[in-house]
Amino acid sequence: MSAIRPRQPRFVAWGWLDWVLLTALLALAALLSWRASSVFQYRWDWSTIWPFIFRLDAATGRWVPNLLVEGFLTTIRLAVWGILISGVIGTLMALARNSQRLFLRLLSVSYVMLIRNIPPVVFVFVFVFFIAGQVMPKLALADSVAKLSATGQWWVSLFFGSPKLIDNFLLGLICLSVFSGAYVTEIVRAGLESVPKSQIEAGNSLGMSHFDIARFVVLPQALRNVLPPMAGQFIQLIKDSSLVSLVSIQELTFMAQDVQVTTQRVFEVFVFVAVVYFIICFSLSQLFSALEKRYSRAFK
């Protein structure tokens, strides 16, 4: 209930102990890298991996994106769709968890229990080979995409990547979203419980419907309260997207393995990939802290 107060500048303290610790850390890092370089004679050669990022197309004489960029784009597509879909699944399942209908509550509880208690890799295999393997071929999505107009195909490949691989991509995407959705469910549920009952009563007393109260009163407050853990979960989702490389979804990690086999430059490839993942995840966490700042202007 307090009025807005200018934020206090954080107290900056940097004493001799901090110098000692910093020196110790730097010394340790130096020692480790010296030991490592003296043990294995590895000659770094970055030049071999550049062509896998962009290559010169001999036929047209233009630079075109190669495997690693394609993998990067697939990872981005998985990340964006995955965040959207797991966000929707999580929100619906969290609402189901608070439903007055027993069936919906049971559905939500079983979903979360099932997913959370099996390792992600096992889930990916079971989902892809036993469940999706039965369903996806019957849908024959690749064929329907092939029938689309040229512009239609262009949009499809913008959003979902190469039309020929669309079955595969969707499989990986659904797998990832269903998996991450269980964790999002728990986060959103915690958020819903953080909104006081009196807010619902206020909505009721004004004659608002259940749906409107959920949509306009409870969810906005719940989601604002869970932005930090949600950011963590979405970053986890991006990193977990490397798991679907196991079932041949051609995202960044999959492509990296390909390139690594071709070039034999293990460290260069994976250092590059690590940097790319870092940049994606770091940007996302920056985005979320910006959102947090924006929403914190209204506070209790």
Partner 1 sequence: MSQAIIQLSSVNKWFGDVHVLRDIDLTIQQGERMVICGPSGSGKSTLIRCINRLEQHDSGSITVDGIELDEDTAHVAAIRREVGMVFQSFNLFPHLTVLENCALPQIRVRGTPRAQAEAKAMEYLRRVQIPEQSHKFPGQLSGGQQQRVAIARSLCMEPKVMLFDEPTSALDPEMIKEVLDVIIDLAQSGMTMVCVTHEMGFAKKVADTVVFMDGGRVVEKAPPEQLFTNPQSERTKKFLSQILSH
Region class of 61: left (phi > 0), else alpha (psi between -120 and 50), else beta: left
CB atoms under 10 Å from CB of 203, counted, come to 18
The crossing angle, in degrees rounded to 10, of helices 67-97 and 227-240 is 140
Among 97, 189, 224, 265, binds partner 1 (CB under 8 A): 224
**Residue 7 beta carbon to partner 1: minimum distance, rounded to whole angstroms:** 15
Check binding of 295 to partner 1 (CB under 8 A): yes
Among 20, 202, 274, 290, binds partner 1 (CB under 8 A): 202
Residue 287's identity, in one-letter code, is: L
CB atoms under 10 Å from CB of 106, counted, come to 13
Q: With CB under 8 A, what is the number of residues at the site for partner 1? A: 26
- State how far the Cα of 204 lies from the Cα of 193, in Å rounded to an integer: 17
List of E strands, 119-213 = none
Check binding of 17 to partner 1 (CB under 8 A): no
Instruction: Pick the piece of the chain touching partner 1 (CB under 8 A) from 57-65, 109-117, 181-189, 197-205.
Output: 197-205
Helix (H) or strand (E) run with residue 170 in it = helix 166-194
Among 38, 60, 100, 205, binds partner 1 (CB under 8 A): 205
Check binding of 207 to partner 1 (CB under 8 A): yes
Instruction: Pick the piece of the chain touching partner 1 (CB under 8 A) from 45-53, 149-157, 213-221, 232-240.
Output: 213-221
What residue ranges bind partner 1 (CB under 8 A)?
A: 1-4, 198-199, 201-209, 212, 216-217, 220-221, 224, 295, 297-300
